[in-house]
Structure 1
Amino acid sequence: MLTPVVDAPSERYRQLYHRGSTTVFACRHDPRFSYCLYVPPELDQAPESYRLLIAVHGTGRTMSAYRDAFVEFALYHRCVVLAPLFPVGPCGDGEPDGFKYIIEDDIRYDLVMLAIIDEVAAALGIDASKFLMFGYSGGGHFTHRFMYLHPQRLLAASIGAPGSVTLLDDTRDWWVGIRDFERIFGHPIDLSAMRDVAIQLVVGAADLETWEINHPPGSRRWREGINDTGPTRVDRNTALLSNLKAHGMRVEQSIVPNVPHDGMKVLPTVKAFFKRVLDGHARDDAK
């Protein structure tokens, strides 16, 4: 028996703009920020069975490209893809990097992200209590710092080639270390919850340019100790790996051969990691 075609304008609108690769939506919590989605067409049959996969752009703000790159993965692994947009200069000053460091003037980017997640979960009827998050370059900055703030929300975090890293180091202030973390954010880091997160650090083996990530004293991004984790993104990725391992985290590193600073070229490695995580949870749920 054929499924009847729903011809109501509201249903046509929903299928056109709220399913598949969607249009761009302003965040209701703070319309300075927006997002787009990929919603598999079969979602409405069992929305509670879908996971949320978040892909965070870098400085170039290629949010829709990352969204589109995860479409096939989402279809096969029952995921909704959410790609936020944190635009340049939301405070009117042209600042391109605020989202990377979580706090910018009156903005808490982690709370904006959580508000977007809540909005999407309510609209689609999915369970977003735990989700997958990938971020590359500037998105890698955001993803590992978001993990420090909200580890209980993450099923897995793939941290791609951040130019600067925050170490679990209580001798240095945020965002080089975490000495003043509780004063700034109102709660301590939950290391126990972080140990439940599957963590991937990914970087291209040829990601060796240093001009954008080494900051001399007196420059805009200078912090004491900012360059101590090594000159390249590979060095900094490895320093973060050692630091997280020393604190008992479930972390693995993937250095992708022949890849420069190019987020699209590490995605096969990221998808393989997320697949292992989802397959492991499916086995646990079946027990």
Structure 2
Amino acid sequence: MNKTFRILKKIILYTFSILLLLSVAGYIYLYVLPKGPEITEIKKINSGIDSFVIYAYKDSERKSIKVWTYKPESWNDKDKVVFVMHGGGRNADDYLNAWIELADENNLLIIAPEFENKFSKYTTNDYQEGNLFTFFRTKNPKSEWAYTVVENIFDHIKSVNNITNEQYDIFGHSAGGQFVHRMVMLMPESRIGTAISANSGFYSLPNDKFEFPYGIQNTGIDLQKSYNKRLVILLGELDNNPSLGTFRTTELAMEQGAHRLERGTAFFNTNKKLKNKNNWTFNWEIDTIKNVGHDYKKMSENAIEWIKN
């Protein structure tokens, strides 16, 4: 009996030690070691398709980020700047290509950051959940939030290209839609003019009883300020097939709705009810695009009307 107990005790001890070692190694790899593509020479954005790599954070060289751009020949200072946020595939170049014709037709400078992550199938906290928390649920400083990276990129292109624009618009689809609506909620001080959150998989509800990202517990969100921003919840009428893309099916996610169309509608209505209850200013809108499903190209085409107006 004592021998069996000793063996069991050793097994538990070894198992715990291995798990601890893996956790420490994982934390160091994800959050301590430098990562990302090599920094490129600082230069002005060329017309057509271009890219550059900068440090993601202003006070740290721990992480770099590649930024794709498209600039029409006719684009000049004060013309619109639009950030395009990719989906869960982290395919910023594909999203950039979807906006080239739209950019030419509407004279838009397109900025498409690439939040590359080899483990994006297993962890989403670094991108669509804003990097508020690590995978291990420890808090990150605001200076390392993914939303702050967008502001840093805007500062970079303004300074390097002598751009005097005070605002930018932002569009995100699927995981990018999650990114956009959370950025509006968490960083209302950002320089966003119009934000478009398209076909998000699930949302951060204005409920402080739910942990982030399902709710806003311990986030310090000031919803009055968030509602002052112009946010459009853009939904595809046919985006009612949960088998498309990566669709979260946890208990709290399923409580938001059976598919993306249902969840987006519920999210908007929940916020509108809260606004009515408190008689707050509310600059959020909802738009459902007919005959469109979970398609970032077609949703991009329909987003342009909100950016133009």
Q: TM-score range with shorter-chain normalisation? A: 0.7 to 0.9
Query: Separation in 1 of the partners of 2:250 and 2:266?
Result: 20
Q: Which residue of 2 aligns with 1:161?
A: 199
The one-letter code of the counterpart of 1:102 is G
Q: Does 1:208 align with 2:240?
A: yes
Query: Separation in 2 of the partners of 1:234 and 1:156?
Result: 21
Q: Which residue of 1 aligns with 2:171?
A: 134
Q: Which residue of 2 aligns with 1:256?
A: 289
Q: How does 1:82-231 map to 2 (within 5 A)?
A: 82-89=111-118, 95=122, 97=124, 98-103=126-131, 105=134, 107-152=144-189, 153-182=191-220, 189-211=221-243, 212-216=246-250, 225-231=252-258
Q: Which residue of 2 aligns with 1:23?
A: 50
Query: Separation in 1 of the partners of 2:72 and 2:162?
Result: 13
Change (3 A) 1:18 1:254: same
Specify the SS of the correspondent of 2:112: strand
Residue 178 of structure 1, CA deviation:
0.9
TM-score by length of 2: 0.71
Residue 57 of structure 1, CA deviation:
0.3
The one-letter code of the counterpart of 2:196 is S
Change (3 A) 1:94 1:158: closer
Q: Does 1:34 align with 2:66?
A: yes
Query: Separation in 1 of the partners of 2:238 and 2:92?
Result: 24
Residue 209 of structure 1, CA deviation:
2.1
Change (3 A) 1:87 1:62: same
Specify the SS of the correspondent of 2:182: helix
The one-letter code of the counterpart of 2:197 is I
- Selected match of 2:86 from 46, 53, 57: 57
Residue 173 of structure 1, CA deviation:
1.9
The one-letter code of the counterpart of 1:21 is G
Q: Does 1:240 align with 2:267?
A: yes
Query: Separation in 2 of the partners of 1:41 and 1:159?
Result: 28
Change (3 A) 1:93 1:233: closer
Query: Separation in 2 of the partners of 1:93 and 1:197?
Result: 29
Deviations 1:78-101 (A, max 9, x none): 432100000123xx7864523011
Deviations 1:89-133 (A, max 9, x none): 3xx786452301111536521122221121111112223432111
User: What root-mean-square deviation, in Å, do the aligned CA atoms of Structure 1 and Structure 2 show?
Assistant: 2.5
Give % identity. Answer: 22
Residue 41 of structure 1, CA deviation:
2.6
The question of whether the paired residues in 2 share the 8 Å contact of 1:51 and 1:127 is answered with no
Query: Separation in 1 of the partners of 2:226 and 2:111?
Result: 22
Specify the SS of the correspondent of 1:239: helix
Specify the SS of the correspondent of 1:116: helix
Residue 75 of structure 1, CA deviation:
4.2
Change (3 A) 1:167 1:155: same
Residue 76 of structure 1, CA deviation:
5.1
TM-score by length of 1: 0.76
The one-letter code of the counterpart of 1:39 is K
Structure possessing the higher radius of gyration over alpha carbons: 2
Change (3 A) 1:255 1:123: same
The one-letter code of the counterpart of 1:80 is L
Q: Provide structure 1 residue ranges, at least 5 long, that are not aligned to the other structure.
A: 1-12, 183-188, 218-224, 277-287
Q: Which residue of 2 aligns with 1:265?
A: 298
Deviations 1:151-177 (A, max 9, x none): 232211100111110111122221111
